[in-house]
Chain A
Amino acid sequence: MREKTFLESFSRHRLGMIGLIGVSIILLVGIVGPFFVPFPKGYGEAMPLTGPSAENLLGTDALGLDLFSEIIWGARTSILISASAVLVAMFIGIPLGLVSGYSRGKIGALIDSITEITMTIPTLPLMILISALVGPSVRTVAVVIGVFAWPTLARIVRNSTLKVSQMQYIEAAIVLGIPKGSIMFKHIMLNIAGPVVVDITLIMATAVLTESSLSYLGLGDPNVWSWGGILQTAFKAGHHFRAWWLVVFPAASIMLYVIFFNLLGIGINETLNPKSRK
């Protein structure tokens, strides 16, 4: 009997498939949507603070702007920031994890301590301080989130590297005289791609939670729409009790984004290691 391919096994994972479909829809809406929906700005033509209706599917905000359009533009912001944060986290976490897992010894111990310290300190208050000092912008928020999101990735890369580097083909590569860097970034990297992909989907999820928290606290880029920013405006003006839709829809968008990415991660993980499904 032929071994099942990854995609065949994955397509049988119900929760993973829900995650994949959800993530695809969000990516489609966030990337393509803004080409069809005008950027809400200034004062809207609709009545301010009206609930969901035929003209304004999700209601309007205090300026009479359409909430549905704001949420679609917010999706683009969330995707942009979480994807950039993931890139930053990969750029730091993967090399650190590889080096710590492969060379062990003193450098490995040092990297482990840095990872542990970064995991221990309460990062949200630190991110708040930095964003407030530098001034909120999409770039600041993305970099700040990424700079503190790498420890889980470094940990996972390290643990997988420890396992892989004891395998025979790595020993063979060393005997063949292949340079250390090439062993780490090519031979080992290819074999630990699975857990790395899983962690990346999970970082996408937490990055959006952090991004939304920062903009909810008033540290979002004032020039773009973000789900947390819509909440911040509603809470600050005290509209949250009168206009529930200004809270529920942006917050539900945040949670769906997070749940779908988490489910995708769980699905990939359990397909790669059937044993982890306890």
Chain B
Amino acid sequence: MGRYIVLRLAKGLLTFFVAVTITFLIVRLMPGDPTTALISDSLSPDDALVLKESFGLDKPLYQQYFLFLRNLLKGDLGYSFFYKDSVSSIIGNKLWWTLLLMGSSLFITILIGIPLGVISAKQQGKLLDQIINVAVVIGVSIFVPLLAFLLLYFFSFKLMLTPIGGAYTPGIDPSQMFGSVISHMILPCATLVITYLASTVLYMRNGMLDVLKEDYIRTAKAKGVSDRKVTWSHALRNALIPTVTVTGLMIGKMVAGAVLTETVFSWPGVGTMIYDAVQKQDFPLLQGAFIVLAASVIVMNLITDLIVAWLDPRIKL
């Protein structure tokens, strides 16, 4: 158990360390004065001075770096220009909505994508497979705001089946909260599932085609194991390994889809917050959003790698 997990944790920590170091360098080394990026010009000179000292902006770069890391360890991500509140507490309220949206979409994608990929591989070259192939090319080319808008336009605006935006009806009775969130989540979730689905189906299909050529599949068939059992139990498990690996690598890209989706549906997560922060030039909030999203992606990567290790007995946990 130990060695693999320790190595994997070390890799995750290293990635996080690189991500925060890039952030630090970008903010300090960009053209112009880093104070404009870190300290709101609407603050009184006294308050600005206090903040300036807390960032160590009057000290040499390496000391600022240690200060930056120490603040980060304490969970201090700076102070938002617009909300006049600590970045970590603002993002803390939004992150769960983003993780809820991304997590459920990813779950549904895997639930639909894996059987679709298997069916596509089994029907190789036939009509269904060709339809899936064309759908995959369109799927990887989707511009998320367009898809989100079309769904919103038809289902919420024209047919009035789903809510226009937000994550729940404001002021709703707590007992009805669950249903309200679900109904608000349908369209954003559908948007993300459609965008994520293409690559999952593609990798599952190709993984399956590779596995079905293996000797042990032929052996199983020769021994008289039914085709259905060979496909869905012998082959599936091994075809899952590359699919889960690739899904893990793609989580970073999936964040982009989630950010764009949230803005169209006014989902109260980090994505909509980023959009607002761009309009208001709230740099500390943008910096905090990147750090927190990077950390979330690294944790999700870790989880997918553990799933791969569990699926693949050659990796000794």
Q: Do A and B come from one complex?
A: yes
B291 nearest in chain A by CB position? A125
For residues 101 through 153 of chain A, which have their beta carbon under 8 Å from a beta carbon of chain B?
Answer: 113, 117, 119-126, 128-130, 132-134
Does A254 touch B at the CB level, under 8 Å?
Answer: yes
A241 nearest in chain B by CB position? B157
Among B40-48, B55-63, B228-236, B281-289, the stretch in contact with A: B281-289
Other-chain contact of A258, B15, B141, B255 (Cβ < 8 Å): B141
- Please indicate the chain A residues that have their CB under 8 angstroms from the CB of B23 in the complex: 126, 129
Whether B290 contacts A126 by the Cβ 8 Å rule is yes
For residues 155 through 175 of chain B, which have their beta carbon under 8 Å from a beta carbon of chain A?
Answer: 157
The answer to whether A218 and B275 touch (CB under 8 A), given A125-B259, A255-B141, A262-B140, is yes
Does A212 touch B at the CB level, under 8 Å?
Answer: yes
Whether B249 contacts A255 by the Cβ 8 Å rule is no
Distance A125 CA – B275 CA, assembled complex (angstroms):
10
Distance A219 CA – B205 CA, assembled complex (angstroms):
37
- Please indicate the chain B residues that have their CB under 8 angstroms from the CB of A128 in the complex: 274, 278, 286, 290
For residues 244 through 275 of chain A, which have their beta carbon under 8 Å from a beta carbon of chain B?
Answer: 244, 247-248, 251-252, 254-255, 258-259, 262-263, 266
Does B145 touch A at the CB level, under 8 Å?
Answer: yes
Other-chain contact of A251, B149, B255, B278 (Cβ < 8 Å): B149
- Please indicate the chain B residues that have their CB under 8 angstroms from the CB of A219 in the complex: 278
Does A209 touch B at the CB level, under 8 Å?
Answer: yes
- Please indicate the chain A residues that have their CB under 8 angstroms from the CB of B157 in the complex: 241
Task: List B residues at the A interface (Cβ < 8 Å).
Answer: 14-15, 18-19, 22-23, 26-27, 30-31, 37, 124, 137-138, 140-146, 149, 153, 157, 205-206, 209, 249, 251-253, 255-256, 259-260, 263-264, 274-275, 277-279, 281, 283, 286-287, 289-290, 293-294, 297-298, 301
Distance A258 CA – B140 CA, assembled complex (angstroms):
9
Q: How large is the interface on A (under 10, 10 to 19, 20 to 34, 35 or more residues)?
A: 35 or more
Whether A117 contacts B14 by the Cβ 8 Å rule is yes
Whether A119 contacts B143 by the Cβ 8 Å rule is no
With A122-B255, A210-B256 given, can you name 8 additional A-B contacts, CB distance below 8 Å? A120-B297, A133-B37, A235-B145, A251-B145, A252-B146, A255-B146, A263-B137, A278-B206
Which 3 A/B pairs are nearest by Cβ-Cβ distance? A251-B146, A124-B256, A122-B255
- Please indicate the chain B residues that have their CB under 8 angstroms from the CB of A217 in the complex: 259-260, 263, 274-275, 278
Other-chain contact of A125, B149, B209, B290 (Cβ < 8 Å): B290
Distance A129 CA – B274 CA, assembled complex (angstroms):
9
- Please indicate the chain B residues that have their CB under 8 angstroms from the CB of A210 in the complex: 256
Distance A194 CA – B249 CA, assembled complex (angstroms):
25
Counting chain B CB atoms within 10 Å of each CB, which of A134, A205, A213, A247 scores highest? Answer: A213
- Please indicate the chain B residues that have their CB under 8 angstroms from the CB of A241 in the complex: 153, 157
Distance A278 CA – B23 CA, assembled complex (angstroms):
42
Task: List A residues at the B interface (Cβ < 8 Å).
Answer: 15, 113, 117, 119-126, 128-130, 132-134, 205, 209-210, 212-213, 216-219, 231, 235, 240-241, 244, 247-248, 251-252, 254-255, 258-259, 262-263, 266, 278
Whether A123 contacts B252 by the Cβ 8 Å rule is yes
Whether A132 contacts B153 by the Cβ 8 Å rule is no
Whether B124 contacts A247 by the Cβ 8 Å rule is no
Whether A117 contacts B206 by the Cβ 8 Å rule is no
Whether B146 contacts A247 by the Cβ 8 Å rule is yes
The A-B contact count (CB < 8 A) is 131
Distance A134 CA – B264 CA, assembled complex (angstroms):
26
Determine the main DSSP class of B at the interface with A.
helix
Other-chain contact of B30, A15, A134, A205, A235 (Cβ < 8 Å): A134
- Please indicate the chain B residues that have their CB under 8 angstroms from the CB of A134 in the complex: 30-31
Distance A252 CA – B264 CA, assembled complex (angstroms):
17
Q: Could you tell me the distance in whole angstroms from the C-beta of B70 to the nearest C-beta in chain A? A: 21
The answer to whether A213 and B256 touch (CB under 8 A), given A125-B274, A278-B124, is yes
Whether A126 contacts B22 by the Cβ 8 Å rule is yes
20 sample A-B contacts, Cβ–Cβ < 8 Å, listed by A number: A120-B15, A120-B298, A120-B301, A121-B294, A122-B252, A125-B290, A125-B293, A129-B283, A129-B289, A134-B30, A134-B31, A213-B256, A218-B278, A231-B145, A240-B149, A251-B146, A252-B146, A262-B137, A262-B141, A278-B124
- Please indicate the chain A residues that have their CB under 8 angstroms from the CB of B293 in the complex: 122, 125
Other-chain contact of B142, A125, A130, A231, A255 (Cβ < 8 Å): A255
Whether B263 contacts A251 by the Cβ 8 Å rule is no
Distance A129 CA – B251 CA, assembled complex (angstroms):
19
B17 nearest in chain A by CB position? A117
Q: Could you tell me the distance in whole angstroms from the C-beta of A118 to the nearest C-beta in chain B? A: 9
- Please indicate the chain A residues that have their CB under 8 angstroms from the CB of B287 in the complex: 129
Distance A278 CA – B124 CA, assembled complex (angstroms):
8
Whether B124 contacts A122 by the Cβ 8 Å rule is no
- Please indicate the chain A residues that have their CB under 8 angstroms from the CB of B256 in the complex: 122-124, 210, 213
Q: Could you tell me the distance in whole angstroms from the C-beta of B136 to the nearest C-beta in chain A? A: 10
Whether A121 contacts B15 by the Cβ 8 Å rule is yes
Q: Could you tell me the distance in whole angstroms from the C-beta of A241 to the nearest C-beta in chain B? A: 6
Whether B279 contacts A218 by the Cβ 8 Å rule is yes
Other-chain contact of A129, B31, B249, B286, B297 (Cβ < 8 Å): B286
Distance A129 CA – B285 CA, assembled complex (angstroms):
9
- Please indicate the chain A residues that have their CB under 8 angstroms from the CB of B281 in the complex: 132
Whether B31 contacts A121 by the Cβ 8 Å rule is no
B289 nearest in chain A by CB position? A125
